[in-house]
Copies of this chain bind each other. A is one copy, B any other.
Amino acid sequence: MEQKIQEMAEAYKLLADKTRLTIVALLKEQELCVCDITDIIGMSQPNASQHLRKLKAAGLLNEKKRGQWVYYSLNPDAEAYVQCVYPYLPSMKAKIAGLKNCCGPQEEA
């Protein structure tokens, strides 16, 4: 029981940061590469990279390498107590639409 609460607290710690929560909200729309995410949020690349690593380490994100780009997406198998908050995240469609189509969601070659 305490173990479960500990795990939940650690997961919510990841969602307890404006930057990471924005990343999750973005990826709710579609998968994105690191450069898209940094562009949209307007943050440094190392900063994005570190947040993405944490989210991935905790099982919230999946990572897929394609050419020189790394695409991140929401992990549909993440814990239910994490996924239950996703529906409350505001839509990021507008932000994503503003992307200069540098490397949006790619079809498998």
Contact A12 B15 (CB under 8 A): yes
Q: Which residues of B contact A17 (CB under 8 A)?
A: 9
Known: A21-B9, A85-B8, A85-B81. A90 touches B16 (CB 8 A): no
Q: Which residues of B contact A90 (CB under 8 A)?
A: 1, 4-5
Among A85-105, those with CB < 8 Å from B are: 85, 88-92, 94-95
Q: Is the interface of A mostly helix, strand, loop or mixed?
A: helix
Known: A5-B25, A15-B12. A80 touches B89 (CB 8 A): no
User: What are 27 A-B pairs at a CB distance below 8 A?
Assistant: A1-B90, A1-B91, A1-B92, A1-B94, A1-B95, A2-B18, A2-B22, A5-B18, A5-B21, A5-B25, A5-B89, A8-B85, A8-B89, A9-B16, A9-B17, A9-B18, A12-B12, A12-B13, A12-B15, A12-B16, A12-B21, A13-B16, A15-B16, A16-B16, A80-B88, A84-B88, A85-B85
